[in-house]
Each structure stands twice: as structure tokens, then as C-alpha cells.
Amino acid sequence: MILLRLAWRNVWRHRRRTILLVLVVAYSAFATIFYWGFLDGFTASVITAQARFVGAPVLVTTTAYHDDPDPENALPDLSFVTALQDDRRVRAVALRLEFPALIRSAYTSESVIVRGVDPTAEAGVSVVPSHIAHGRWLQRPGELVLGKGLAARIDVRVGERAVVDTAGKDGPRAAGLVLVGLVDTGSVAVDDRAALVHLDDARALTGAEVTAVALDVARGEEDRTAAALRPLLPPGIASFGPLEMLGAIRQDIEGNRIGAIPIILLFAIVAAAAVTSTSVVSVIERTRELGMISAVGLAPARLARVVVLESIITSLIGWVLGLAAGYGTLAVMARVNVLGKAFASYGRAFSALPLTEEIYAVIHPVYALYASVTVLIAALFAILIPARRVRRMAPAQAMRME
């Protein structure tokens, strides 16, 4: 306790230096917390976009279709759907039929993946029907809804007809469908590629019935529920959560998290090195003073402990301030969509990434633990360098130093 009081007093004897050190550590803690909160928020945004905009919270399909999304690998029968509808974890069910097609206007054409949907049921599993920027959502066969970017590229307007060509089971098929609505979700993956038609039209064009069953489940529970529902499904059919549907993008996301660890460690090491170097300078400056304290009876080992405590106190104060600043910032960014606007161009540049214009930071207590690495490293450095110097100090010699 005496040593702690001594260390506390020493810390505040050089107020300006201490404040500087506290700021360095606080910045490190703040950066760590902000970084993880942002990274987790970004990941959550991608998963949300995949679950609610691009794919589905949970998608049930054949494993063959999951590996090769061709209507030939469509679901052979839908008898399992009743069991899913009765499951309390499933909030809504919608049938889908997706197929590759060519969409044509009078001026140009483009390859797309067309999604045939039941207009009423689809609204239960996807937010796309509620993001119609112009016109309206599908109501009946013969209609078409496009992402606004896709519609602009092929130059087709609401009320005009576009042609969908595809390879049906019995040969090429085509239909002229009237564009009734434009989707604007803020997600490039949807706005630039979405082509939605009535399930009846999709069936008439392809000759297939249903390629997948989309399920709505509780937010944040998508992947766990997908895994839990698998025992209810017949052989050859499986349920997939958003992470599994992301495919290669999932590996990128996980890679980003692992790649972040060295960066965060570097932050911590730089901050701890700043604390340590200042401690070393402080010890050198106080050599005579420390020699006197040692001469009056405080053993060098205990004196070394005082130096370590000084580093820990400084780091702890910085850590607490960093936590306050970091969590405070995350609290704001968890409510206000600051990041989404900032990363809008990122979504456009990496259009394969399902990302909306809404990115909210995530707050998690474990970030405080990550940020405490700075304090631990600072303490370790203090033991290794300035404390070691103090332990080796000869009091008589130290008192003679100018």
C-alpha cells in the first residue's frame, strides 16, 4: 500500500508528462475499441444485407442447388415445408424460383439472375418489397420489378415492357413483362442486379417449381437457426444461414478479423513503448532521488516495484479514459448511421459484397479486454526495462549522479 501511495505521488509530481502518457494510452484503447466496434458493425451489416436484402435469413434448398444454382437442381418436393411452418423458430415462409436469364429492352440487354417470388409471402422474409423507390411491388403475373441500377443500364422505365429470355426445361422461353417498380435499397448487390418476377411467370419460363424456400427467423439467430432446422429436412436438402450463403465473402470477412489482430497489437505495443520510454527517462532523471530513497532503507527490489506501479497507474488511467471515449463513440455510432454514408462508395467499388448504406457500430464488453492489452504490455515493458535498471542501481553511486 505504501508503495502504491508512493507511486501515485510520483505520477502526479510530473503532471504534464503523465497527462501526455495518459493520452497516448487512452488513444490506443480508444482506437482498439473503435476498430473492433466498427469491424463487427461492418460484418453485421454485411450479414444483415445478405439475410434481409440479397438472400434470406435462412434459405432451404437442395445441397446440389447450393453448390450449383441451376433450376435443374430445384427442390424435388415441398412436403417438408409444413414442418417448417409449424416450427416456432420460423416466423415466415416464402417459395422462390431463381434462374439465369437475359433481360432485354429495345436498346440493350443484360444477363441477370431472375428471382420468381410469391409477392405476398416474399414481404415476410425480405425487406426488398418495402424498398420500392418508384412504382409498386409485384401484385400479379406479367409484372417485373428491377433494381434501379439495372433498370437504368438497360434503359427501361416503369410502365414499359422488358423481355426475359431463359433456357427452360423444354427449350428457350421468353416473356414480355411490364416493369411495375424500381428497388432502391442502398445495397449495390440488390440495386444493380435485382430482377423479380411473379412465381407463376418463373415457373412458366423455366418449367421448374421451386429452387429454394426462404425463412424469416429472429435477427442475430439466422445461422444458429439454420443449423438447428437441418434435422427437420429430408436427405439432400439443407438449410443455410447468411454466413454460409456468403461463400467466399465469408472467408474474406473472417480473414479481415484475423488480419486486424496484428494491427491492434501494434497499436498496443506503440502505446506501451511510449509509456516505457517515458518511464526510463523519468528513472534516469530521478537517479539521485531514487538513490537517496534506497539509501534510507527502501530495498532496490521494492523501489523497482514503485516504478512498475507508476507505469501501471498511468496506463490504467489512460485505459479507463480510452474506454469511456471508445464506448461513448460507439454508442453514438450504434444509433446514428455515420459509417454507412462514409462507406457508400466502398459498396459500389466492391459490388460483390452485400452492403447497404446503413452501417451501425456494434458494442461489446470484450472490447475492453482487447484494449487492456496496452496496459499489460506497458507493465511488462516496465518490469523488463526501467524496473530492472532500478534493481541494479547502487545507492551510493546513484546519489553522486548529477
Q: Site size for another protein, by CB under 8 A?
A: 28
Given the complex with another protein, which of 179 and 373 has the nearer CB atom? 179
Least separation in angstroms between residue 201's CB and another protein is 9
State how far the alpha carbon of 97 is from the alpha carbons of 52, 54, 70, 239, 354, in Å: 17, 14, 10, 16, 20
Going residue by residue from 86 to 105, which x/- string records binding to another protein, judged by CB under 8 A?
--------------xxx-xx
Taking CB under 8 A as the rule, does residue 211 contact another protein?
no
Taking CB under 8 A as the rule, does residue 72 contact another protein?
no
Taking CB under 8 A as the rule, does residue 73 contact another protein?
no
Q: Name the 3-class secondary structure at 92.
A: strand
Record the cell numbers describing residue 111, joined without a space. Answer: 444477363
Q: Which of 70, 72, 110, 289 lies at the binding interface for another protein (CB under 8 A)? A: 110
Given the complex with another protein, which of 105 and 372 has the nearer CB atom? 105
State how far the alpha carbon of 226 is from the alpha carbons of 216, 238, 284, 355, in Å: 10, 8, 62, 22
For the chain, how are helix, strand and coil distributed in percent, rounded to 5? 60, 15, 25
Taking CB under 8 A as the rule, does residue 175 contact another protein?
yes
Least separation in angstroms between residue 248's CB and another protein is 21
- Which amino acid does the sequence have at 213? V
Taking CB under 8 A as the rule, does residue 169 contact another protein?
no
Taking CB under 8 A as the rule, does residue 202 contact another protein?
no
Contact of 154 with 105, CB cutoff 8 Å: yes
Q: Name the 3-class secondary structure at 36.
A: helix
User: Could you say which residues in the range 114-143 bind another protein, by CB under 8 A?
Assistant: 142
Going residue by residue from 141 to 160, which x/- string records binding to another protein, judged by CB under 8 A?
-x-------------x---x
Query: Which runs of E-coded beta strand occur in 233-334?
Result: 237-240
Least separation in angstroms between residue 371's CB and another protein is 50
Given the complex with another protein, which of 176 and 220 has the nearer CB atom? 176
Least separation in angstroms between residue 154's CB and another protein is 9
Taking CB under 8 A as the rule, does residue 397 contact another protein?
no
User: Count of alpha carbons within 13 Å of 141, Cβ hemisphere only?
Assistant: 8
Least separation in angstroms between residue 247's CB and another protein is 20
Taking CB under 8 A as the rule, does residue 174 contact another protein?
yes
Q: Which of 17, 89, 134, 161 lies at the binding interface for another protein (CB under 8 A)? A: 161
Least separation in angstroms between residue 195's CB and another protein is 12
Q: Which residue in the block uniquely carries the three cell numbers 428471382? A: 115
Taking CB under 8 A as the rule, does residue 177 contact another protein?
yes
| Nearest in space to 208 (alpha carbons), one of 197, 217, 199, 195 | 199
d(CA 381, CA 359): 38
100: part of which helix (H) or strand (E)? strand 92-104
d(CA 46, CA 68): 23
| Nearest in space to 54 (alpha carbons), one of 200, 249, 334 | 249
Least separation in angstroms between residue 109's CB and another protein is 4
Contacts with another protein by CB under 8 A lie at 100-102, 104-111, 142, 156, 160-167, 171-177
